[in-house]
Structure 1
Amino acid sequence: MITPDPLALFFSSAGFIAGLTLAVMFFLFVNKEFANREHGLSQWYYPGLLFACTLMLLYQVILFDADPGQLRLVLLISALLINLIFFMGANRGFLPGNSYITSFNKFSLILVAGADLGYLVFLFALPPVWSVYGWLFLGGLIQVVAASAAGLAVAAGRGNTRHFFAFFLPQWLLTCAFVVLLYLWLTAMLSLGWLLASILVIFTLGLLNISLVLTGLLKENHKEQNAGTQISSEDLFSYTHDPATNLPSYQQALKQFDRMLKQDSNRRFAAVVFKPVNFQQVNSVLGHHNSDLLLLQLAYCIQQKAGDNRKLVNFDASHQPIRLARLQGLNFLVVAELEPGSHPEKAVIQDLCRQLSDAVPDAMSFKSFSLNFELAFGVAFAQGHATSAGELIAFAGDALLEAEQQQQNLCYFDNSTTLYTEQQLLKMERLKQDLMEENLRWYLQPQIALDDKSIKGFELMVHWYCETEVALELHEFIDIAEQSGEVHLLMKNMIQQAFRILAQLQQMEIYRPLSLNIPSKELLESELVDFIELQSTSYGIDTKYLVVELTEEVMLSASARTKAIIDQLKVLEIGIAIDHFSGSYESLRYLRKMAINQVKIDCSRLNGQEENRADKAIINALINLTRNMGLPMTGIGIASPEVEHMFVAMGGEVAQGKVIHRGVVPDELAIWLKRWYSQYPQAKENKTE
Structure 2
Amino acid sequence: MQQRLDKNPDLLHQHWWRGTLTYILALVIIALLALLSHYLVQSIVDQQESTARVVNIAGRQRMLSQRITLFASELRQTRTEELHGAELASYYDAISTMSTMHYALMNGASSLNIPTPSSNAIKAMFNQPPTNLHQKVTEFLVLAERVVDASLDMSQRNEAYKQLRQAARAEMLQSLDAVVLQFQRESEAAISQLQRYNRLSLGGMLLTLLIEALFIFRPLLLSLYRREQEYHALLADMDEEIAEQIQFQTFNDPLTHLPNRLSILEKIQSYIELAQHNHSQVIVIYIGVDRFKDINDSLGHDQGDLFLVDLGERLANVAESNRGTVARMASDEFAIVLEQDDEKLELVQLMHQLSKSISQPYEHNERVLQVTASLGLAVYANDGEDANTLVMHANHAMRIAKEDGGSCFRFFQPAMTIKMTRRIQLEHELRQALNAEGQLMLFYQPKVSLKTGEIIGVEALIRWRHPEEGMLSPAEFIPIAEDSGLIVELGDWVLVQAMWQLREWQKQDIYLEMAINVSVKQLMRRNISDRLLALAEQMDIEPRYVQIEITESNIMDNMSQIMGQLVDIEKNGFVLAIDDFGTGHSSLARLRDLPFKVLKIDRSFVMNAVTDAKDQQLVAAIVDIGHSLNKTVIAEGVETTEQQKLLQSLGCEEGQGYLYAKPNSAKQLASMLQQRKIALEPR
**TM-score of the superposition, structure 2-length normalised?**
0.49
Structure with bigger gyration radius: 2
